[in-house]
Amino acid sequence: DHQGRNRLRRARTYVRAMAERAAAENRPNRSRLLTLPGMSHDFTQCVAEGDLVGIVGKALLHEVYQPSTPLGDKP
19 touches 36 (CB < 8 A): no
Q: Are residues 10 and 41 in the same domain?
A: no
- Whether residues 26 and 39 share a domain: the answer is no
Cβ burial of 11 (10 Å; 0-12, 13-18, 19+) is middle
CA–CA gap between residue 6 and residue 31 (Å, rounded): 19
Cα distance between residue 8 and residue 22, in whole Å: 21
- How many domains, the chain? 2
Q: What would the pLDDT profile of 8-45 be if each residue is shown by its tens digit? A: 889 999 999 999 999 999 998 888 888 888 898 899 99
48 and 74 co-located in one domain: yes
Q: Which domain holds residue 8?
A: 1-33
**Segment 58-70, tens digit of pLDDT:** 888 876 655 554 4
